[in-house]
């Protein structure tokens, strides 16, 4: 029987795994003469050609962001293909020969402490690189962790949960939160802001299961599991397995704290706390360190040291005061005006194709000459810089977009006043960058400041105010501040129904958030 061929290039040979988000096939790239893994996103996720095109754009965007994670623990992404029927989407990636972590989990046969610590440390190393991009996994679990034959841990499916998350693509009819219930953080259950600490919670669930041979929570159904993640205290590991070192038990409990900001600061801290339980360089495994028969040994890479990348050091922000000459409006020369118009058109075309990095370069090439000719605070230059910041945000480069939005907010405050629309919008975008980078407290403070101004000028039911109120509520939920979020969301829902009607998309989303909060508070499934 001939193999199925997609895109006139990739042959699907045999199925490797069957999962909730799609099937993985062993394939072959006929052009480059190499084996590949091909992930088929389920047809049920795509219900129309229009939705297929939307999903394809998002798929390619997430594939490009994932490809920026430069670490051997992340399989390389080669291609994203929409087939001719507009019904299926394929992700083509590096084929890894290894064993899924779920195969290591055997009831009543917990792993050696050094094995569990080695897996967790390698996952932390991978996450340190991902979170630096930043990319958040959102669905870390044993089935998404593979131990290659040389003992290297590979973290699979970066970007898949982001592609299918319902707050962006609306691909599911249920509105269910993305994630696997046994490893889902409280903020995911509530529908709150996802941050790097969300991955740390899932890592705590995985490490607990490796050491105890049982999940943290085992509710009888998904609602019971979600409520346990919201309200139940995990059983300390030493009550389940007395020989677990006390410090390791403390680390797992720290990772499993309900509030994201109460968890470890970052993956580097987690790695440092795992170090005492990893084998020393040059050491030989003892009999007690023997793991499952035939399984690759994840401790091997630590016998030859293997560590995460160093934390990025923030460069001091350069503050430049414009001269009086620069603040004076100047006419735009015809040649420069044409270059600016071309930069906008070219960047638009690149955005349509999802080529964010190249669009940033195109805009940057005209910003500098325009600033020299017109002044750094001219309307044309600020417009170009704002477009570049927006492209960076859309492309997931929040670390670069943040200082640009902050600088733009200051520039618009100088030129149009601190309460002007442009200054407010740039402050809000800077806050959203902070939220994506896990700086939730700072993001909340900045969004609240913008909302205070908007409410004073335009009232609480303007489109801008409603968007800000919703964003603040999502961040409050991410911090576990459920009562405060409830007090904000209930009047927001009433305003949305009054202004836009009960079937408005955001009104329905807020109603779903309120239902989850009531599940949290009442400890039972909504009727």
- For 489, the enclosing helix (H) or strand (E) is helix 482-500
For residue 171, is pLDDT > 70?
Answer: no
Residue range 451-461, pLDDT digits in tens: 999 999 999 99
pLDDT number for residue 523: 65
Cα separation, 263 vs 204, in Å, equals 10
Per-residue confidence band for 164, with pLDDT thresholds at 50, 70 and 90: low
pLDDT number for residue 318: 43
- φ, ψ dihedrals at 216, nearest 5°: -60, -45
Which residues, in sequence order, are CB contacts of 36 under 8 Å at separation 6+? Answer: 10, 27, 28, 29, 78, 92, 93, 94, 95
Residue range 51-90, pLDDT digits in tens: 767 766 777 777 777 778 889 899 888 887 876 665 677 8
Per-residue confidence band for 242, with pLDDT thresholds at 50, 70 and 90: very high
The pLDDT of 40-44, averaged and rounded, is: 65
Strand (E) positions, 72-115? 77-82, 89-93, 98-100
Longest pairwise C-alpha distance within the chain: 79
pLDDT number for residue 47: 63
pLDDT number for residue 320: 45
pLDDT number for residue 192: 87
Cα separation, 512 vs 527, in Å, equals 12
Which residues, in sequence order, are CB contacts of 263 under 8 Å at separation 6+? Answer: 197, 200, 201, 204, 254, 255, 256, 257
Per-residue tokens: 424 = 């407010």
Per-residue tokens: 49 = 């050609």
The mean pLDDT value of the chain amounts to 85
Nearest 10 degrees: Cα torsion 463, 467, 470, 476: -140
Known catalytic residues are: 139
For residue 169, is pLDDT > 50?
Answer: no
Mean pLDDT check: name the lowest of 170-174, 208-212, 313-317. 170-174
Residue range 396-441, pLDDT digits in tens: 899 999 999 999 999 999 999 999 999 999 999 999 999 999 999 9
Closest CA to 399 of 425, 437, 431: 437
Q: What is the 3-state secondary structure (H, E, C) of 354-399?
A: CCHHHHHHHHHHHHHHHHHHHCCCCHHHHHHHHHHHHHHHHCCCHH
For residue 254, is pLDDT > 90?
Answer: yes
Question: Residues 194, 188: contact at Cβ < 8 Å?
Answer: yes
Give the domains, in start order, of the chain with CATH numbers.
Answer: 4-93 (3.30.200.20), 98-282+299-303 (1.10.510.10), 324-522 (1.25.40.10)
pLDDT number for residue 527: 46
- 260 versus 91: the higher-pLDDT residue is 260
For residue 110, is pLDDT > 70?
Answer: yes
- 303 versus 464: the higher-pLDDT residue is 464
């Amino acid at each position: 029987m001939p193999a199925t061929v997609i895109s006139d290039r990739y042959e699907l040979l045999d199925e490797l795994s069957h999962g909730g988000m799609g099937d993985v096939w062993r394939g072959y790239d006929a052009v480059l003469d190499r084996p590949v893994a091909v992930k088929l996103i389920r047809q049920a996720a795509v219900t129309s050609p229009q939705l297929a095109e939307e999903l394809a754009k998002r798929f390619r965007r997430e594939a490009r962001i994932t490809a920026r994670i430069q670490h051997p623990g992340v399989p390389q992404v080669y291609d994203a293909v929409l087939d001719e029927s507009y019904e299926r989407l394929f992700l083509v990636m590096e084929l890894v020969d290894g064993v899924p972590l779920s195969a290591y989990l055997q009831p009543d046969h917990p792993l050696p402490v050094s094995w569990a610590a080695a897996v967790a440390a390698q996952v932390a190393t991978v996450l340190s690189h991902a979170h630096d991009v930043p990319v958040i996994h959102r669905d870390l679990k044993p089935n998404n962790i593979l131990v290659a034959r040389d003992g290297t841990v590979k973290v699979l499916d970066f970007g898949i949960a982001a592609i299918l998350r319902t707050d962006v693509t609306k691909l599911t009819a249920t509105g269910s939160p993305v994630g696997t219930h046994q490893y889902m953080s409280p903020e995911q259950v509530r529908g709150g802001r996802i941050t790097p600490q969300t991955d740390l919670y899932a890592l705590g669930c995985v490490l607990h299961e490796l050491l105890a041979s049982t999940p943290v929570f085992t509710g009888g159904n998904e609602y019971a599991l979600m409520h346990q993640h919201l309200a139940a205290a995990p059983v300390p590991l030493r009550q389940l397995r007395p020989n677990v070192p006390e410090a390791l038990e403390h680390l797992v409990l720290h990772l499993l704290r309900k509030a994201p900001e109460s968890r470890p600061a970052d993956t580097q801290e987690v790695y440092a706390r795992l170090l005492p339980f990893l084998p020393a360089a040059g050491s030989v495994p003892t009999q007690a360190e023997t793991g499952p028969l035939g399984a690759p040994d994840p401790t091997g890479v630590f016998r030859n040291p293997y560590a995460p990348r160093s934390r990025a050091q923030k460069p001091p922000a350069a503050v430049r005061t414009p001269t009086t000459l620069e603040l004076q409006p100047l006419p735009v020369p015809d040649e420069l005006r044409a270059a600016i118009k071309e930069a906008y058109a070219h960047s638009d075309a690149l955005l349509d194709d999802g080529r964010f990095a190249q669009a940033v370069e195109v805009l940057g090439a005209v910003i500098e000459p325009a600033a020299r000719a017109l002044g750094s605070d001219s309307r044309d230059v600020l417009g170009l810089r704002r477009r570049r910041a927006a492209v960076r945000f859309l492309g997931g480069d929040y670390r670069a977009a943040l200082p640009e939005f902050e600088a733009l907010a200051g520039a618009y405050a100088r030129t149009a006043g601190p309460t002007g629309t442009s200054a407010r919008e740039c402050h809000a975008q800077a806050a959203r960058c902070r939220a994506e980078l896990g700086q939730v407290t700072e993001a909340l403070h900045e969004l609240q400041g913008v909302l205070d101004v908007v409410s004073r000028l335009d009232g609480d039911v303007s489109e801008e105010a409603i968007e800000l109120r919703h964003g603040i509520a999502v961040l409050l939920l991410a911090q576990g501040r459920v009562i405060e979020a409830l007090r904000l969301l209930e009047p927001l829902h009433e305003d949305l129904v009054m202004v836009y009607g009960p079937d408005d998309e955001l009104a329905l989303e807020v109603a779903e958030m309120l239902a989850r909060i009531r599940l949290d508070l009442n400890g039972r499934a909504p009727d």
